[in-house]
């Protein structure tokens, strides 16, 4: 498969994850209700005791992760050689950690017995990114 095409898919999935993180952060800082498009209870999930790691809100972690990937892979769409072997190894490592964290967050929703469509969309973005980085 064409490398620019894969980089483009990762870039778009990163933008999707970034948009979700921005939306959640925006709603939380304005203390507005997070509307769930498929009638799950996003509020209980994003305001649960699991909504931060070491005091850092999860959506902030998402902002940095997805923003970083969007920058790297957006550039790589135009300049594919920017992703050298060492950078590729680092991206594979970071993406693998993010995928493991996303699986943990999915299980948090199972524990809470509440689902958040925005969180699930972020999970799908992570899966797409992980798959493309690891298998291509």
| CATH code, domain carrying 101 | 1.20.1440.130
Name the pTM for this structure. 0.94
CA 106, 120, 135, 132 dihedral sign is: negative
77-135 pLDDT, tens digit per residue, is 999 999 999 999 999 999 999 999 999 999 999 999 999 999 999 999 999 999 999 99
Give the integer Cα–Cα distance in Å for 43 and 65. Answer: 23
Crossing angle of helices 85-112 and 117-135, in 10° steps, is 150
Domains in the chain, number = 1
pLDDT at 86: 97
Would you place residue 4 in the very low, low, confident or very high pLDDT band (cuts 50, 70, 90)?
confident
39-86 pLDDT, tens digit per residue, is 888 999 999 999 999 999 999 999 999 999 999 999 999 999 999 999
- Please give the residue range of the domain that contains residue 100: 3-135
């Amino acid at each position: 498969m064409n490398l620019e095409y894969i980089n483009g898919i990762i870039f778009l999935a990163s933008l999707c994850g970034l948009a979700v993180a921005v939306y959640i952060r925006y709603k939380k800082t304005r203390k507005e209700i997070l509307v769930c498009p498929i009638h799950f209870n996003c509020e209980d999930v994003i305001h649960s005791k699991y909504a931060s790691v070491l005091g850092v809100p999860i959506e902030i972690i998402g902002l940095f992760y997805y923003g970083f990937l969007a920058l790297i892979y957006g550039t790589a769409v135009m300049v594919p050689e920017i992703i050298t072997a060492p950078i590729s190894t680092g991206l594979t490592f970071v993406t693998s950690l993010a995928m493991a964290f996303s699986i943990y967050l999915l299980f948090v929703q199972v524990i809470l017995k509440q689902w958040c469509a925005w969180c699930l969309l972020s999970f799908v973005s992570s899966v797409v990114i992980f798959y493309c980085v690891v298998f291509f």
